[in-house]
Amino acid sequence: MGFVPGAWRRALLVAMLAATAGGVAAQPLQLPPVDEGAQDLDWLRFKAHLLEALANRDQKFLLGIVDPRVRNLSGTDGVAEFRKLWEPQSADSTLWSELAKILFLGGVNVKREKGALEFCAPYVHYRWPQDAPEDADGAVIARDALLKAKPAASAPTLKALSYDVVKVLDWEVADEDKSSAQKWVQIESGAATGYLPEEQIRSPLEYRACFARAGATWRLTALEVGE
């Protein structure tokens, strides 16, 4: 059969489209940070006061901003349940550190039923990509996070990740140096399997908090976990 220009062009176009599709599929899925409260001066002032209260273990301030109908991780609403779950009277309560971690990450505005608007953080839960693979369960929350071959700062670096959505193999891995308190997370990114410091990755199912305006201040309307 002789040379057929039309058929050749069609074959070339199909090959180019296939190559392009393959290149797009090979790109890592990312979840860039979002903070819709960064320009809200009222929120920023309140956030600064709350962070100071958390650092000082200020139970009075904290309980003073908890909404009477606060949504709790147990599914039971209210301040009494909040106090039972978090024990804010204890300086060792995980409440102080967990809420601070949440506040240091960006958040988004969420419209609830009946038109209520809340500011909720962190963004990881509320902006989780709908097209994320089913086995993806963590998002890198840092730029140029170094993926290590072993759970140790001195281990060889496999590659750098910036806001990648990844598959987590183990959420808590001890450092190879037994004297180090650093915890690592084992992940799979593309063809590479390695370790990131636990503070550089977050699950969309981890603790999250919501706040709503209440006159001249804000109220904590939710401190939840899970889906």
Residue with tokens 């977050």: 202
Amino acid 15: pLDDT: 45
Q: What is the value of pTM for the model shown?
A: 0.83
Per-chain mean pLDDT for the chain: 89
pLDDT in tens, 69-120: 999 999 999 999 999 999 999 999 999 999 999 999 999 999 987 778 999 9
Inter-residue contact 172 to 67 (CB < 8 Å)? no
Q: Report how far residue 122's alpha carbon sits from residue 11's, in angstroms, rounded to the nearest whole number.
A: 48
- All domains of the chain in start order, with CATH: 41-128+204-224 (3.10.450), 138-201 (2.30.30)
CA distances from 135 to 132, 162, 173, 183 (A): 8, 19, 19, 22
Average pLDDT over residues 127-139: 93
Q: Report how far residue 71's alpha carbon sits from residue 82's, in angstroms, rounded to the nearest whole number.
A: 8
pLDDT in tens, 155-166: 999 999 999 999
Which sign, positive or negative, has the C-alpha torsion 128, 139, 189, 32? positive
